[in-house]
Structure 1
Amino acid sequence: MHQLASRLRALPPSCGPVRLIGVDGHAGSGKSTFAGRLAEALDGAPVLHLDDLASHDALFAWTGRLLTQVIEPFRHGGTAHYTPYDWRTRRFGPPRPLPPAPFVLIEGVGAGRRALRPYLACLLWLEMPREAAWARGRSRDGEEQREFWDGWVRAEARHFAEDPSRPYAGLLVRQLAVGYEVLAGPLGGSGPERIVTHREGPPAMW
């Protein structure tokens, strides 16, 4: 993971003083766990979870909030303030500050969407077939979330059909039995160049 972090450190800022790193992939593919571990390797870089910007009524219609609450402040070197959504109470909470750190990770389905890509220093895609990822997500969340998952699967499939992320990924991340393997993505080279294999610690579950 530290080799990957070193590779990312060589990138120039992409949004004001910030290097925005997108971590995208299908729901259930392990984005949150991977982003957390990468953030640690980047000296505790903050992670913005797109679940905090989405809502029941707007699973993918959060672009405007992201641009106005996060991207525009970063572009001018200021602190972002976003309003996280509470999925239990179904309402947005008070603004939460997000400082313009050298690295900020944006994690979630759609982190590599068309409107966000111009501001990303690098897009990483968690490489897992969508059916396998969705099955793991359903198993994780249990029977009580089955109705939500049914709606989510349709919305995610529609989103990626209209605005795919994987073709624009600089790096592909594959979860191993223990750790990760990082390969050059569609924008990272013409062949499957191996970048780094990380085998420390227990297997990542989600």
Structure 2
Amino acid sequence: MTRGGAMGLEPAVRLVRRVAAGRRHPLVLVDGPSGAGKSTFAAVLVRGWPGAEPVVVRVDEAIPGWRGLRRGAAALAVSLVGPNSRGAVGAVHRWDWLADRGGGVQRVRPGRALVVDGCGAFRAGRDRPDAIRVWVDAPYIERRERALARDRGAFDPYWDEWEADWRRYLVRAALNEHAVIRVRLGDRAARGA
């Protein structure tokens, strides 16, 4: 696995699958800033997964509001990743973003690979040293454009608040230093656009 330069999407997906192949029920943590392409990476990873399709849990489904990144990711460590590691049913306590309050609970049965995708995924898997950690990044301007386009205006008023929370979280946790596989998506300058 690489700690050096970043890889593109397909080589990194192949590497994750190769590393996971020797593990019984692997945990893949896909982290990085908003709009970087984490969900795209996770979708491509799962689409060609050999055997039973992994369970995908998106961290943002469990983050309690625009300033709850650290709290939501830490809660997933306790309610989902910990029980899953012990072969028990885990839980994702969902957040209803439109109502700005707690939502339902998703139960996650053990026995399949688990992909935790989103800002804070490394924190959610902090107690699993055997986890495959993938850091996905892209240039700030492209990340912002993608995130705002993806949510069709619903995210616009919150971008600065979320980005500030993300940066505070990143500085405290030094998350990207724990990445085993680094993926860089975007960079129009490199493509000549």
Residue equivalent to 1:125: 135
Contact kept? 1:83, 1:94, Cα under 8 Å: yes
Residue equivalent to 2:41: 34
Given candidates 107, 116, 121, the residue that maps to 2:125 is 116
Please tell me whether residue 138 in structure 1 is matched to residue 148 in structure 2. Answer: yes
Q: Distance in 2 between matches of 1:88 and 1:95?
A: 16
Structure 1: gaps of 5 or more residues = 178-206
RMSD (CA atoms): 2.4
Deviations 1:180-202 (CA, angstroms, capped at 9, x unpaired): xxxxxxxxxxxxxxxxxxxxxxx
Moved more, 124-133 or 164-173: 124-133
Contact kept? 1:49, 1:107, Cα under 8 Å: yes
SS of 1:44's equivalent in the other structure is coil
The answer to which structure, 1 or 2, has the higher relative contact order (CA under 8 A, 6+ apart) is 2
Counterparts in 2 of 1:93 and 1:142: CA distance versus 1, 3 Å: closer
Q: Map 1:97-116; keep pairs closer than 5 Å.
A: 97-113=107-123, 116=125
Q: Distance in 1 between matches of 2:186 and 2:152?
A: 24
Q: Which protein has the bigger helix share? A: 2
Deviations 1:131-179 (CA, angstroms, capped at 9, x unpaired): 43123312433444322112111111111111122221111123379xx
Residue equivalent to 2:95: 85
SS of 1:136's equivalent in the other structure is helix
- Once the 2 structures are TM-superposed, how far is the Cα of residue 44 of structure 1 from its aligned partner? 1.8
- Once the 2 structures are TM-superposed, how far is the Cα of residue 126 of structure 1 from its aligned partner? 1.0
Q: Distance in 2 between matches of 1:132 and 1:95?
A: 33
Letter matched to residue 27 of structure 1: S
TM-score by length of 2: 0.77
SS of 2:69's equivalent in the other structure is coil
- Once the 2 structures are TM-superposed, how far is the Cα of residue 31 of structure 1 from its aligned partner? 0.8
TM-score by length of 1: 0.73
Contact kept? 2:73, 2:121, Cα under 8 Å: no
Once the two structures are aligned, what percentage of the paired residues are identical? 26
- Once the 2 structures are TM-superposed, how far is the Cα of residue 125 of structure 1 from its aligned partner? 1.0
Contact kept? 2:29, 2:132, Cα under 8 Å: yes
Given candidates 46, 53, 60, the residue that maps to 1:44 is 53
Q: Distance in 2 between matches of 1:36 and 1:145?
A: 22
